């Protein structure tokens, strides 16, 4: 029997590809979703396809009332301006940052190399906890995230360790492998990994099924590198 989870309410902004799939992940984990849209009727129609009472369609303003807020809108579509208008409402809350700052044709980012959407968000909302998550999971892979090598990784970034743990806990019944990938500034690496993956999947013909998974393991006691033999000449 599945262990019960504490039910949390997450407000999602937007009703696009990621919004719907992450709503599905949250519902699967026993949480409630306020699905916010510029067109609440659209959000209500999507909500009606989930199990009764799990997802409620509403406006952005209503979704922003939740203790956890997940903006699923592109930076290029004015997300920062929208959040700046609601900075007071977001005080003391946790924002789940899934942003990759892609330009219109996905050939690059609208932000320079020496920053990230995660850092810009944290600067914009200094009284809000910002946790980077799911940046590397392409929407097409949520339905079948199992690769031959295993489930893909989700790299989690942020400067508040407790907030990172709380956000990972929201998805404890999800099949992904969640890895603490460092502080807010490390979102630079994670976001650029998404851009690199997008380029690779086109080049390799893996589109849309591509994901990141780190290979590695702790060292085994007494394990020797066979190449030591060549350099041990004393």
Ligand X SMILES: NC(=O)c1ccc[n+]([C@@H]2O[C@H](COP(=O)([O-])OP(=O)(O)OC[C@H]3O[C@@H](n4cnc5c(N)ncnc54)[C@H](OP(=O)(O)O)[C@@H]3O)[C@@H](O)[C@H]2O)c1
User: Which lies closer to ligand X via its Cβ, residue 78 or residue 162?
Assistant: 78
User: Which lies closer to ligand X via its Cβ, residue 41 or residue 231?
Assistant: 41
The half-sphere exposure of 158 on its side-chain side, counting CA atoms within 13 A, is: 28
Residue number of the CB closest to ligand X reads 16
Minimum separation from the CB atom of position 152 to ligand X (A): 12
Minimum separation from the CB atom of position 42 to ligand X (A): 6
* Nearest CA among 203, 193, 25 for reference residue 10: 25
In sequence order, the 6+-apart residues with CB closer than 8 A to the CB of 31 are: 5, 7, 8, 9, 10, 170
Site for ligand X, rule CB under 6 A = 14-19, 37-39, 42, 72-74, 77-78, 98-100, 102, 134-135, 137-139
Minimum separation from the CB atom of position 3 to ligand X (A): 29
Q: Provide the CA 179 distance to its chain's centre, in angstroms.
A: 12
Residue 100, judged by CB atoms within 10 A of its CB (0-12, 13-18, 19+), counts as: buried
User: Which lies closer to ligand X via its Cβ, residue 129 or residue 138?
Assistant: 138
Minimum separation from the CB atom of position 220 to ligand X (A): 36
User: Which lies closer to ligand X via its Cβ, residue 113 or residue 227?
Assistant: 113
User: How far apart, in whole angstroms, are the C-alpha atoms of residue 147 and residue 29?
Assistant: 22
């Amino acid at each position: 029997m599945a262990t019960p989870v504490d039910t949390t309410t997450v407000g999602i902004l937007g009703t696009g590809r990621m919004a719907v799939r992450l709503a599905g992940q949250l519902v699967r984990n026993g949480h409630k979703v306020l699905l916010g849209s510029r067109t609440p009727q659209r959000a209500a129609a999507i909500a009606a396809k989930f199990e009764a009472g799990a997802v409620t369609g509403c406006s952005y303003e209503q979704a922003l009332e939740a203790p956890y807020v997940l903006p699923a809108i592109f930076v290029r579509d004015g997300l920062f301006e929208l959040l700046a208008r609601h900075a007071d409402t977001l005080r003391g809350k946790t924002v789940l940052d899934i942003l990759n700052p892609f330009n219109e044709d996905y050939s690059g980012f609208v932000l320079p190399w020496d920053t990230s959407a995660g850092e810009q968000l944290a600067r914009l909302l200094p009284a809000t906890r910002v946790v980077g998550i799911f940046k590397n999971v392409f929407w097409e892979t949520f339905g079948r995230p199992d690769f031959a090598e295993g489930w893909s990784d989700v790299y989690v970034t942020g400067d508040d360790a407790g907030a990172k743990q709380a956000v990972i806990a929201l998805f404890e019944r999800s099949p992904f492998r969640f890895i603490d990938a460092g502080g807010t500034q490390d979102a630079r690496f994670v976001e650029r990994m998404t851009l690199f993956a997008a380029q690779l999947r086109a080049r390799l013909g893996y589109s849309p099924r591509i994901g990141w998974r780190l290979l590695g393991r702790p060292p085994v006691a007494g394990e020797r590198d066979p190449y030591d033999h060549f350099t041990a000449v004393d």
